[in-house]
Amino acid sequence: MKARLEIEELIPEGYQAMRGVERFLHSSDLPKTLLELVKLRVSQINGCGFCVDMHSHYLRKEGESDERLFSVVAWREAPYFTDAERAALALAEEATRLADRGDAVPDEAWEEAARHFDPKTLATLVLAIAQINAWNRIGVTLRRPAGSHRR
């Protein structure tokens, strides 16, 4: 399987702008594991095989257990996540599934996330959710194959 086109080759300035946001996210106070868990869950929802594969491998390199990796898709039912991780995953799901309900991001999800994160970290989390949704839309539209990030 081959991607429809290589965006980084055709519009390197746009691609580098998105990479700049990634550099910011990785240098922020948002815990790296939390960032990658959110990216993995959003990518699962959006059906981006490229990103699911990539973020699963990143989490594995960071020492995440198989139990946690296998359970991200069912984080509500799994005992492996902290309250802060659950709040971030809930916010990520609500912000990703905007068209699925009338109240796109319910106050309950926002307030629970706000209980666990200071305003700056919460703002960074919102940016991270938006960023992975953008990457997923690129990956799915271009049909980027899973595993091709390791080439």
Q: What confidence tens digit (pLDDT) does each residue in 46-95 have?
A: 999 999 999 999 999 999 999 999 999 999 999 999 999 999 999 999 99
Give SS3 for 86.
Answer: helix
Distance CA 29, CA 149 (A): 26
Mean pLDDT (whole number) for 95-106? 88
Range 32-143 classified under CATH 1.20.1290.10: yes
Tell me how far CA of residue 150 lies from CA of 57, 108, 146, in angstroms: 10, 39, 9
Report the predicted TM-score, pTM, of the whole model to 2 decimal places.
Answer: 0.94
Longest pairwise C-alpha distance within the chain: 44
Domain coordinates of the chain in residue numbers? 32-143
Contact 59, 37 (CB under 8 A): yes
